Amino acid sequence: MLTPAQAETLIEQHLACLPIESLPLTQAAGAILRENIYAERDQPPFDRVAMDGIALTTAGASGNAGRLRVTGTQNAGDPPRTLADPSECIEIMTGAMLPQGCDAVVPVELITRNGEFAEIGKKAVTPWQNIHRRGSDCRQGALLLSAGTRLSPPEVAIAAGAGMARVRVSAQPMIVVISTGNELVEPGEQIAPHQVRRSNAYGITAALRQHGYTRVADDHVRDDEAQLTDRLAFHLRTHDVLILSGGVSMGQLDLVPKVLEKLGVSLVFHHVAQRPGKPMWFGVSQSGPAVFALPGNPVSTLVCLSRYVLPAMRAAMGQAPGGPPRIALTAPVEVKAPLAFYMPVKLKSDDWGRTSAEPCPTNGSGDFTALAGTDGFVELPPGPGTFPKGFVARFFPW
């Protein structure tokens, strides 16, 4: 069987990069940037005043006992005034362009106003105080955002500051989540003792939406080869990514691999040396869509989704790679099988702000109720062995 790292590499090698679309900046939050963005101008684009007060020249600040005549006012957005006489000053507002002939700003709280005069007394005034110098943040043409960046609020503001009305980003993939199984019953419907609720699809869809994927459809197909063939053929024609839950183990009604291959989906791998989630299946259709067929047990489903599907989707959207964080265990964990082991955890912070992972064992891959309140899981190396408190492992959030 493949190791998790080998499975991850194979998925990345077979997943096509999603197309690019141009979006208005107002619709770009959460999207993955597919172009570099450069500074339109120096930032700040002029010597910008950082405090309300008076603009003056330091050469004249100590003259006349620090008493300066106010010759006018300059607001933010106004063209710059000119200070011709060092014994004078200009009333100035935060964000305004520094008037010509000035090289300092004294804040309003240090000024006594007496009619048309502003008095600063013997307060020291140094050149360029309270002034954000032109180009001190970045120079025109500097790289501000690289392709592969996820556009969160700061990045959207940066793009706007660079004059970008539209940005080129990865198009949202068309995803369908497909549950298989005769035993599944929708929440809210009458249920018999021998049936179970259809919960995996809701968990998968919630995870996809939480991670920014908005074009997500949903389907439920019974364990019937003809129906499964018909529905999967339709979804392969109409979607970019298929995420199936169930039907990939070794039972008589585990029909998913057989039907997918009949429909022209090339198998890349089936089974990964891990627990839970060993039966995972991945393939690529000749027409383009990628197919992730996840085991049907709920813990296995969510583990495989977070360990493989979500990282693969980020790579397909061109998001800059960033490995999972590493985090220390708060208690020992025993691994009995010679497989990579995924332990659900809760994140804890101590008084010094250090984060660690509290193990939250389940009663098997069907015990999804044990996941309540967990933040994700850690990947532990194959056993047998006990990993002590303080062992540092890779963490994958849900």
Q: pLDDT for 17-44, tens place per residue?
A: 999 999 999 999 999 999 999 999 999 9
Give the pLDDT mean for 45-50.
98
Same domain, 179 and 284: yes
User: How many other CB atoms sit within 10 Å of the CB of residue 42?
Assistant: 17
CATH of the domain at 360: 2.40.340.10
Any bridge partners for residue 168, and if so which?
Answer: 22
The answer to whether residue 221 scores a pLDDT higher than 90 is: yes
Closest alpha carbon to 285 in 241, 315, 254, 243: 241
Q: What is the total count of domains within the chain? A: 4
The answer to whether residue 45 scores a pLDDT higher than 90 is: yes
Say if 321 falls within a structural domain: no
The answer to whether residue 251 scores a pLDDT higher than 80 is: no
Which tens digits make up the pLDDT trace of 59-104? 988 888 899 999 999 999 999 999 999 999 999 999 999 999 999 9
Q: Of 316, 340, 357, which marks where a domain is finished?
A: 316
pLDDT value for 139: 98
Residues 302/277, Cβ–Cβ less than 8 Å = no
Which three-class secondary structure state does DSSP give residue 141?
coil
Same domain, 33 and 53: no
Q: To the nearest whole number, what is the mean pLDDT of the chain?
A: 95
Q: Is the peptide bond before 44 cis (omega within 30 degrees of 0)?
A: yes
The answer to whether residue 253 scores a pLDDT higher than 80 is: no
The answer to whether residue 250 scores a pLDDT higher than 80 is: no
Same domain, 209 and 308: yes
Same domain, 185 and 229: yes
Q: Where are the alpha helices (DSSP H) in 15-100?
A: 58-61
pLDDT value for 350: 87
Structural domain boundaries enclosing 92? 48-132
The answer to whether residue 287 scores a pLDDT higher than 90 is: no
CATH of the domain at 227: 3.40.980.10
Rounded distance between C-alpha atoms, residue 162 and residue 38, angstroms: 7
| pLDDT-based confidence at residue 198 (cuts at 50, 70, 90) | very high
| pLDDT-based confidence at residue 215 (cuts at 50, 70, 90) | very high
Say if 224 falls within a structural domain: yes
Provide CB contacts within 8 A for 202, sequence distance 6+. Answer: 187
Which tens digits make up the pLDDT trace of 375-392? 999 999 999 999 999 999
pLDDT value for 76: 97
Percent of the chain with pLDDT over 90: 92
For the whole model, what pTM was predicted? Answer: 0.86
| pLDDT-based confidence at residue 242 (cuts at 50, 70, 90) | very high
Same domain, 122 and 142: no
Closest alpha carbon to 101 in 93, 91, 113, 89: 89
